[in-house]
Every structure is written in C-alpha cells, then in structure tokens.
C-alpha cells in the first residue's frame, strides 16, 4: 500500500511539473509573430545576405529600415509583387540578383521570390524592403 501512495504522489508531482505555466496577470506573453526572412543573392548564389523583418506589434528585426519597409509592405497590401519601389534610371548591366521573402507577414504566410537584372533594378522595384 505504501508503494502505491508513493507512486501516486510521484505521478502527481510529475503531472504538475509538466503542466503549462500561465502568465502572471498584467504580463504580456511574447509575440508568436515569426516575421519574414528576406534574402538577396547574387548570380549563381555567389553571395547571399538575409535579415528578419517583423512588423507586429511594431517594426522590428535585423532590417536596418524596418519601419519604412513595413510601411511599404502595408501600402502594397502585403503583396511583394505590388511594391511601389523607388523608380530610378538603371544601366543595362547584367548582374542578376534574386530576392526572396519567406515566413509570415501580419499573420499571412509568405513565399515569394524574383530575379532582377541587377541591384539597381531590384532597388527600383522593391524600395526599402530589400535595402539591407
């Protein structure tokens, strides 16, 4: 009988330890917003750069122009293909760069990529979003 009581007590202690702990009142739980992982890569992946951009609850992440990039994405309705960009004159040099966005923007999944003829064309088409 004693071993049954000890075993029961041990199981109850394990169950209590495994139960999720609720956050204390008044303390916000950490955001589960993953953000968007943005990359830029050179021709044949000779080089690659990447940053995380989070726009919720406020612009954040490793993006150097997070607030501006989030505002531009909001203006495009979260559609990377509809970014207004920063129109400019570019040379016809062919040095392709590929940009990609993977993750989550304002709760919606994102999986997008596009190749531009050169970095100037990329900046012209994507504005601050891929300026890192």
Q: What is the pLDDT of residues 72-96, one digit of tens each?
A: 999 999 999 999 999 999 999 999 9
Residue 10 neighbours by CB distance under 10 Å: 10
Q: Are 49 and 39 in contact (CB under 8 A)?
A: yes
Pairing verdict, β 60-61 and 36-42: unpaired
Q: What is the pLDDT of residues 16-52, one digit of tens each?
A: 343 444 444 444 444 455 899 999 999 988 999 999 9
| pTM exceeds 0.85 | no
- Provide the pLDDT confidence category of residue 104 given band limits of 50, 70 and 90: very high
Residue 81 neighbours by CB distance under 10 Å: 8
């Amino acid at each position: 009988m004693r071993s049954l009581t000890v075993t029961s007590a041990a199981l109850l202690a394990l169950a209590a330890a495994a139960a999720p702990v609720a956050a204390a009142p008044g303390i916000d739980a950490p955001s589960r917003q993953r953000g968007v992982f943005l990359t830029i890569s050179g021709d044949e992946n000779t080089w690659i750069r990447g940053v995380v951009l989070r726009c919720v609850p406020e612009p954040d992440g490793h993006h150097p122009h997070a607030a501006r990039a989030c505002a531009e994405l909001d203006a495009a309705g979260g559609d990377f293909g509809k970014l207004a960009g920063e129109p400019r004159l570019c040379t016809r040099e062919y040095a392709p760069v590929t940009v990609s966005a993977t993750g989550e923007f304002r709760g919606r999944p994102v999986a997008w990529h596009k190749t531009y003829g050169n970095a100037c064309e990329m900046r012209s088409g994507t504005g601050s979003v891929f300026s890192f």
